[in-house]
Amino acid sequence: MDIALILASGIAWTIVYIEAIRVGFRERTYAMPAVALGLNFAWEWTYAVHNLAFDPSVQGGINLVWGIADAVIVYTFFRYGRAEFPAFVTPRMFAGLSVLLFGMSFAVQWLFLAKFGAEDAAGYSAFLQNLLMSALFIAMFVARRGLRGQSVTIAVAKWLGTLAPTILFGALQHDGFLLGLGIMCSVLDLVYVRLCVGAKRDGGVDDVPESSTVTDRADSASMEA
């Protein structure tokens, strides 16, 4: 059962990343909120390296696959992300702030690792940033006024990818803290799924028109982050 749930989470999140890459290149944007992307990228590479070096496991291999896929999403962020911000954010400023974001994301993961040890840090940080990510995806939907840079596939796979470890670590291993975080993730994920399904049915809701200026598109950029 444990391996089945680990693999289910691995497959679901891999689908999220593949779809985010596809949507990102197709729509010339990034398909994951910036802060969530930074934390995810840092988590995957931190624990991929740690697991493969000190505790080889199925999860370590999955983390490596995720890290490689996430690197492509990071590329879409740096290639297309500047257009999502106000005009006063120069390319140099965007690059500097982005490097700061990713650097601090790694620092957060390493602080968790130093404080709690590899096993607890991996779980606590993963569930906390998943809860943040769930809220940020909803904020991104609102900021972009619809499905631009998003999809129902991402929404559903994200929900299932977090539900599996919630069942494993929260319910089966009786960890009330992770179970509570996982339940809250599922609530927000299902809200996001409902928003995406409704937007797809309605033709994408009010996606920002191609004629909109960079400034108009970036009015809610802070919500996306």
- How far is the C-alpha of 70 from the C-alpha of 21, rounded, in Å? 8
Q: What is the mean pLDDT of each run of 10 residues along the chain (225 residues)?
A: 91 96 97 97 95 86 94 97 92 96 98 94 96 98 95 98 96 96 98 96 62 46 58
**pTM for the full model?**
0.89
Nearest to 33 by CA among 106, 140, 107, 143: 140
What value, to the nearest 5°, has the Cα angle with vertex 65 and ends 31 and 112? 80
The predicted structure's pLDDT at residue 202: 87
Among 181, 133, 124, 108, residue whose Cα is nearest residue 20: 133
Q: Report the phi/psi class of residue 119: left, alpha or beta, with left for phi > 0 and alpha for psi in -120 to 50.
A: alpha
Helices H, strands E: what count in the chain?
9, 0
Q: What's the pLDDT at 151? A: 97
